[in-house]
A and B are shown apart, each in its own frame.
Chain A
């Protein structure tokens, strides 16, 4: 598979990265060369191989339903680029609308 410049722009939007035309061009080249190497995997017949998400066979790692101390609000907001009245402040919405 090889990546077109419009693929690069689409992926950049998904990843929320404003790329310059130069970046789009060089990324197209670089991603294609990396994927060119990776494509050797496509050659493997792994039809009946189970995928591995976690190297170790550990299951059911949970915590009991217990309350722990929260962060003091000063610390929660310590690194906030903009805060007001205890809340993080963001600019107007464009059509970014999505939700849970």
Chain B
């Protein structure tokens, strides 16, 4: 659906978007309430036990590391941490939910009242403040495979297979305020949250494998209107692009509906990335009755300020702070700093390289990484740590250029060789005989020869055609097969031509 169509709609209507983001705590060893390992996939029902299968008599015992990770995440997005909290049971029947209730949190979540400031660049760059209503901890469900239906969808399936390997995986749910106004803001919010979770090391945040799942609540209203319109909830947005496109589609769909005199119905819709459209998953006309009540198999959580402090001390440097630091410490431009800190591996690579190359060369290191290195990663489709290029190589390469051992033009050639072979730059330079001649004596000899061989040009240069200097440089360089140091050649020529 065309971008300008969305722009046109957003001129007439204001979109009101809130996100619900579920993140599996994949970095934990064991599940939320039992000792089964947290892993992805595997043979069905091979990572289950009486607890996560909901067998009669089994009891849940909360994983303390999951509680700590959730509090850590809450602190990272500026939430208040509740000193008194507890789990509740959220009750509804579903075949992939072993106990037919989900142990979740209700009115006493661990974290609430946070926010994220999200930068949206482009034509008019701006920052928007998006509230985080709450972050609570719960257990993930199992998985179902529907057979006989259309591409694994529930609709029309003859029967389904249920696998509980994922059941009980620690799941953190973040609910945003409806402060988001465009699909782009939503994407930026989700991307920034992902960076933070990765920095905290609590999850691998893979939207493909479903360890990060984003659902959106969307409604539209006329600008200036304060009442909220009827919202629809969109699920199955398995990438940041899908998130953007699905929200954009839904906003336009609602606008068209209203323009045509229709009304938006409250429902859950399914994003079909292939067909690039959303379709009704189920109607939520009759609201659920989850019958929440305090989980009687567990006791409440009483945190002390000191304990929360001790968790806060574990907070690593978050992306925003790191970007700031890169700009001030290394005097990098905002864009460069943002790119370098948008991927933790990239940032670590940069700082390791600078440590080796010396702080004075930070800028040169940044240039190589933002240009040659990034280009190589994209072209070869490899991740930072998969690349044959290592910090020590980039450090050495930058050194060779700064020392004038090779020209920056040659550096590009050396880099691509590095990326292919994984050899150290010095080795490559040596092997290709690329060493640049800066030795005055050697250069003077060539310059003398050129001058002697070109009396007419010398005459006209001395006669005032100083533009000829370029021609002389060219002659000298040709004699030296390009290996003369341009600056030195220039100086010697000017001196001798006087």
**Chain A residues in the interface with B (C-beta under 8 A):** 14, 16, 53-54, 58-71, 73, 76-77, 84-93, 95-100
Contact = CB atoms under 8 A, between A and B. Distances in A.
Contacts of B95: 88, 90
Main SS at interface, chain A: loop
B22 interface: yes
A77 B299 contact: no
B266 to A, nearest CB: 15
Contacts, number: 138
Q: Which 9 A-B pairs have the closest CB atoms?
A: A68-B35, A65-B65, A87-B161, A62-B64, A53-B294, A59-B302, A97-B282, A88-B162, A86-B44
A58 to B, nearest CB: 5
B161 A59 contact: no
Contact of A60 (B92, B294, B302): B302
Given A60-B299, A68-B30, 9 more contacts: A62-B61, A62-B62, A64-B63, A77-B45, A86-B163, A88-B95, A93-B160, A97-B154, A100-B141
B146 A93 contact: yes
A87 B64 contact: no
B393 to A, nearest CB: 38
A86 B92 contact: no
B94 interface: yes
B300 interface: yes
B49 A65 contact: no
Contacts of A64: 63-65
Nearest to B38: A67
B296 interface: yes
Interface in B431-465: none
B65 A73 contact: no
Contact of A59 (B45, B67, B299): B299
A8 B126 CA distance: 55
21 contacts: A54-B296, A58-B299, A60-B302, A61-B299, A62-B64, A62-B67, A64-B65, A65-B65, A66-B35, A67-B30, A84-B161, A85-B161, A86-B44, A86-B46, A87-B145, A88-B162, A91-B160, A92-B157, A96-B94, A98-B282, A100-B138
B281 A97 contact: yes
Contacts of B138: 100
A65 B45 contact: no
Most chain B beta-carbon contacts within 10 A, residue among A14, A64, A76, A96 = A76
B495 interface: no
B43 A93 contact: no
B175 interface: no
B299 A54 contact: yes
A21 B372 CA distance: 77
A2 to B, nearest CB: 20
Contacts of B50: 71
Interface string B91-102: 011111100001
